[in-house]
Amino acid sequence: MSRSIYLDYNASTPLRAAVAATLAEAMGRVGNPSSVHGFGREARRCVEEARARVAALVGALPGEVVFTSGATESNALALAGFARPRRLVSALEHDSIIAAEGVEIFAAHSDGTADLDALKALLARDPRPALVCLMLANNETGVVQPVAAAVEIAHAHGALLHCDAVQAAGRLSVSRPDLGADSLSLSAHKIGGPMGCGALVLRPGLRLKALFAGGRQENGRRPGTENVPAIVGFGVAAEIAAADTTVAKALAAMRDDLEARLVSHLPGVAIHGAGAPRLPNTSCFSTPGLDAATQVMALDLAGVAVSAGAACSSGKVQTSHVLAAMGVPAQAAGSAIRVSFGWDSRPDDVDRFLAAWRALLDRRAAKTASIRAVAPGRASG
């Protein structure tokens, strides 16, 4: 039996072997990092070593890193913690941001990039202090956003800018200082680390109110005993991601090969965001006449794991607000699937995917031909 292939790295990445080994070792230790005895001091040392590694991944200082349970919590902490009366978010944001209560949404262009003129208009309309949210790279299309330009606009209006950098970390060079973002979110399991661990990286000098009370951990910004094993694993994953400078080129080669062969086989395939800078590992495309759920299920049965254009937390396929914001017609958006490669992907994964996808197209064509052949007989009866 041929191996199943995993092409859903934007949802979650496989745990790296070095991370798994570190997690196993860390889980065998005892000690609360807030305790002053030797066991506690050792746990604290491990946390701070991981903090330095995560900070290095995004060009930050260790003291700028606040560990959280994941990027969703990091985003929520930024939205609430800066206590800004206005929160302006792009139409392309992750659900953890765009679904927050009371946000004002600014539009996107058809190529999948945020409309910064729309952002300017929103900021000029109301002088109250604002927080702008713009992700670095979109989770569905892979389109890279003009974050540095948005930061200039936000700061010119006295606003802060929060950047969800979850999909970009480990795939692009990410530097919080170079972007100028006031804060950015990271997630361990998107870079080969464990689930349930993330970080909010803050510009020095920013005041942040904790989401809840209960302790002074993370310098009072995130109460609760730190998840030491997960944090240690996050640190190892961050160090590996920072050192792996060749992966982007290899991922881009696989993505480009996939897209060229898709369009060659079926010219009607639409590659969403192809006209804009994108993550090297991500392809989101629509296949005429095939809905997304059918494709995902058929490919899964063939041993190929991909995602629909958008999947909610319950695993049900929903209409993509990202593709809608890009002006993609509902029928095309309903047939969009996402293929995302990662650190353990191989060039022959493209072959396996295309073989399964073409077989699905062939079955659809045969079914359509059968229906057409039977239709005249039914009509004459």
Q: Are residues 200 and 62 in the same domain?
A: yes
The H-assigned helical ranges of 58-189 are 71-81, 95-98, 116-125, 147-156, 176-179
Supply the pLDDT for residue 312. Answer: 47
Q: Which two tokens stand for residue 68?
A: 């959280």
Our CA angle for 61, 65, 67, nearest 5°, is 155
Classify the C-alpha dihedral 227-230-236-239 as positive or negative.
Answer: negative
Q: Which of 224, 243, 262 is the last residue of a domain?
A: 243
pTM: 0.93
Domain around 158: 17-243
Residue type, 296: V
Residues in contact with 127: Cβ distance below 8 Å, sequence separation at least 6, in sequence order: none
88 and 109 together in one domain: yes
CATH number of the domain enclosing 329: 3.90.1150.10
Tally of structural domains, the chain: 2
Q: Under DSSP, is residue 146 helix (H, G, I), strand (E, B) or coil?
A: coil
Residue with tokens 């607000």: 321
| Same-domain status, 33 and 176 | yes
Residue 216 sits in the same domain as residue 334: no
Is residue 381 assigned to a domain?
A: no
- Out of 243, 278, 293, a domain closes at 243
Are the C-beta atoms of residues 147 and 118 closer than 8 Å to each other?
no
In a domain, 380, yes or no: no
How far apart CA 381 and CA 364 sit, in angstroms, is 26
Predicted pLDDT of residue 331: 94
Give the domain CATH number at 164: 3.40.640.10
Does 118 share its domain with 168? yes
Contact 64, 201 (CB under 8 A): yes
- Whether residue 318 is found in the same domain as residue 232: no
Q: Render the burial of 268-301: b for 16+ CB within 10 Å, e for the rest.
A: ebbbbbbebebbbbbbbbbbeebebebbbebbee
Question: Is 312 assigned a catalytic role?
Answer: yes
Residues 250 and 349 in one domain: yes
Q: Which of 180, 208, 243 is the last residue of a domain?
A: 243
Check whether residue 94 and residue 141 sit in a common domain. yes
Residues 73 and 142 placed together within one structural domain of the fold:
yes
Strands 282-286 and 270-271: antiparallel
Quote the CA–CA distance of 254 and 142 in Å, as a whole number. 14
Are 197 and 130 members of one domain?
yes
**234 and 250 housed in the same domain:** no
Count of H-run helices and E-run strands, the chain: 13, 13
Closest to 18 (Cα-Cα) out of 191, 217, 146, 276:
191
Classify residue 196 as left (phi > 0), alpha (psi -120 to 50) or beta. left
228 within some domain: yes
The pLDDT tens digits along the chain (381 residues) read 467 999 999 999 999 999 999 999 999 999 999 999 999 999 999 999 999 999 999 999 999 999 999 999 999 999 999 999 999 999 999 999 999 999 999 999 999 999 999 999 999 999 999 999 999 999 999 999 999 999 999 999 999 999 999 999 999 999 999 999 999 999 999 999 999 999 999 999 999 998 888 888 888 889 899 999 999 999 999 999 999 888 999 999 999 999 999 999 999 999 999 999 999 999 999 999 899 999 999 999 999 999 996 554 445 567 799 999 999 999 999 999 999 999 999 999 999 999 999 999 999 888 777 777 776 655 444
The secondary structure element, H or E, covering residue 6 is strand 5-6
**143-167: string of b/e by CB count within 10 Å (b at 16+)?**
bbbbbeebbebbeebebbbbbbbbb
Domain assignment present for residue 379? The answer is no
Task: Give yes or no: residues 256 and 218 share one domain.
Answer: no
| Model pLDDT for residues 143-157, shown as the tens digit of each residue | 999 999 999 999 999
In a domain, 378, yes or no: no
Q: Enumerate the H helices of 244-314 as residue ranges.
A: 247-265, 292-301
